Structure 1
Amino acid sequence: MKPALLFGPLVLFLCLAYFVPFLGVMQWSVTLPEPGVGQYVKAVSDPLIISVFIRTFRICLIVTILSIAAAYCIAYIWVRGTPMQRLAMEICILIPFWISILTRAFGWVALLTNRGLINTWLQQIGIISEPLTLVRNEFGVVLGMTHFLIPFAVFPIASAMRSLDERVLMAARGMGATRLRTFWAIFVPMTLPGVLGAGIIVFVFALGFFITPAILGGGRSVMIAELIYLRLFQSPDWGLGAAMSVILMLIVAGLLALMMRYARPKSMLR
């Protein structure tokens, strides 16, 4: 059987489930409330929308950096640690996938509120006298998003680490390089494709986050996905919401194109 026949049903499903509805959203963006590109002009000129885009990119960038840093450490132990360390890392990586994003968000609310476990514990041991504002702000949003996205960054980084040729590392050590120099001069540069791929994946996922910012941000750190929801279902301003959706999709498509061009996904999947 030809491979095209096997992929045909999947391609058809993706077209019906994603591409056709997206065409409808594109139609809304140039027809509502009247034909033209006025909604796109408003989307790129409205100070409120621009500020939300800037906040979204800032939060996504911070989340991506924190997720990659944590994922690199986890992936390193998972790939090169002892059997017990590898087992512990596998448990830490897989268990989060069994917990829904809504449960995680409310779990962080229980930890971070003024009467939450963290503030209560810090006050009881005398480190702080007044509760810290850890939720309903960008800090809570960044923390919740980072916690959710770390596992997604681990897999491409671990794949890049497993594809390394151990003989190169052994040659560096044989020529007198220390472990630290071998790590920074050989190991890290050779795993950069995996880091880049993980960074783009995390950033793209973060751009579309809705539940976590809505719950942990408390309406004070609105991101673009939440703003699109508000324009579509509460304003309602379907044309502007659709225009922002199309702009966001174009940004995501550009990032995916960068990943396909520079992250060498074939080598990441070996």
Structure 2
Amino acid sequence: MYWFLTLAPFIILLIFYIYPLSRVLTISVTEPTFGLGNYVGIFKSSAVWRVVGTTAWICVITSAITLVLGYLLAYAIVHVSGRWQSIMMLGVLLSFWVSILIRAFAWITLLQTRGLVNETLIALGIITQPIPFIRNELGVVIGMVHYMIPYAALPLIASMRGIDRRLVPAARGLGASPLEAFARVYLPLSMPGLISAGILVFIFSLGFYITPALLGGGRVTMVAEYIALQVNETLAWGMGTALASSLLIIVFLMIIVLGRVVKFRQLFGAAA
């Protein structure tokens, strides 16, 4: 009976996940000819390396900013009273219900040359000319950070809830300043959650497509958009699937590293 209950999920996984992945891997070594020529071409292509460099740079910056903001948000949620904690957690969870496409168009409306942000800054006399917030890496980072903050906050909240709140007051009682107590007691104890959140955010950032395409305005190309360009525009299926396979392998390796840092059941507080 138990095997029957697992049969349906296994079939779904086979049809919608394993089979498509196997097709991608197969195409990457058979188009246009059989062999590893597409993977060799990836390492030899200067265009690919520029895209990879842009992607890595944006992902690192996005991850760093997201971790700082996510840490502050998680710290506040863990340490506020019960009623406010529930309200703040609801705000974090509600963000998952907003489409990434809607978020991107909202940021375009806010950050464009005649958008609300530039118009407000000009009206206040802070600037005289509009700031180019979008159609560059800045706009992409802003949109990605906004989307990724909940993914950083939730693992950090799960990690911080396991920290004994009496430790920091004990350190203060022994003569440590508030900053010393935080840096030498609280921060090291929350480091596993910080590392897991960082890896999680970086993994998700690697696959961004809509946000860079819209907020980058065609001037910022990341790996996912470059793969789509190879497949849909130039019809270089072999190169596109080889790049997608390489990205998939990198993600799997990072997931393995993440699994060694923290148990996946504990990542979002599913287990004590």
Q: TM-score range by the shorter chain?
A: over 0.9
Q: Which amino acid in structure 1 is aligned with residue 190 of structure 2?
A: T
Aligned residues: 269
Q: Which amino acid in structure 2 is aligned with residue 220 of structure 1?
A: R
**Cα distance, 1:8 vs structure 2:** 4.6
Contact 1:102 1:211 in 2 (8 A): yes
Q: 1:224-253 CA deviation, whole Å, 9 max, x = no partner?
A: 000000111111110000000000001101
Alignment of 1:172-191 (within 5 A): 172-191=171-190
SS of residue paired to 1:164? coil
Contact 1:160 1:194 in 2 (8 A): yes
**Cα distance, 1:158 vs structure 2:** 0.2
Residue equivalent to 1:98: 97
SS of residue paired to 1:215? helix
Identify which range, 9-18 or 243-252, moves more after superposition. 9-18
Residue equivalent to 1:263: 262
Contact 1:43 1:49 in 2 (8 A): yes
Residue equivalent to 2:13: 14
Identify which range, 146-155 or 160-169, moves more after superposition. 160-169
Report the Cα distance in structure 2 between the residues aligned to 1:55 and 1:158, rounded to whole angstroms. 31
Report the Cα distance in structure 2 between the residues aligned to 1:216 and 1:154, rounded to whole angstroms. 24
**Cα distance, 1:129 vs structure 2:** 1.5
SS of residue paired to 1:191? helix
Report the Cα distance in structure 2 between the residues aligned to 1:87 and 1:221, rounded to whole angstroms. 38
Residue equivalent to 1:58: 57
Alignment of 1:90-239 (within 5 A): 90-239=89-238
Residue equivalent to 2:241: 242
Report the Cα distance in structure 2 between the residues aligned to 1:154 and 1:265, rounded to whole angstroms. 15
SS of residue paired to 2:219? coil
Q: 1:27-69 CA deviation, whole Å, 9 max, x = no partner?
A: 1111111111111111111000011011101101111111111
Identify which range, 259-268 or 54-63, moves more after superposition. 259-268
Report the Cα distance in structure 2 between the residues aligned to 1:29 and 1:125, rounded to whole angstroms. 55
**Cα distance, 1:96 vs structure 2:** 1.4
Alignment RMSD (CA, Å)? 1.7
Q: Could you tell me the TM-score, scaled by structure 1's length?
A: 0.94
Of all paired residues, the percent bearing the same amino acid is 39
**Cα distance, 1:90 vs structure 2:** 2.0
Alignment of 1:29-40 (within 5 A): 29-40=28-39
SS of residue paired to 1:186? helix
Query: Structure 1 residues 143, 24: closer, same or farther in 2, change over 3 A?
Result: same
Q: 1:107-131 CA deviation, whole Å, 9 max, x = no partner?
A: 0000111111111111122221111
Q: Which amino acid in structure 1 is aligned with residue 67 of structure 2?
A: I
Identify which range, 149-158 or 88-97, moves more after superposition. 88-97
SS of residue paired to 2:239? helix
Q: Which amino acid in structure 2 is aligned with residue 165 of structure 1?
A: D
Q: Which amino acid in structure 2 is aligned with residue 198 of structure 1?
A: A
Consecutive unaligned residues of structure 2, counting only runs of 5 or more, are none
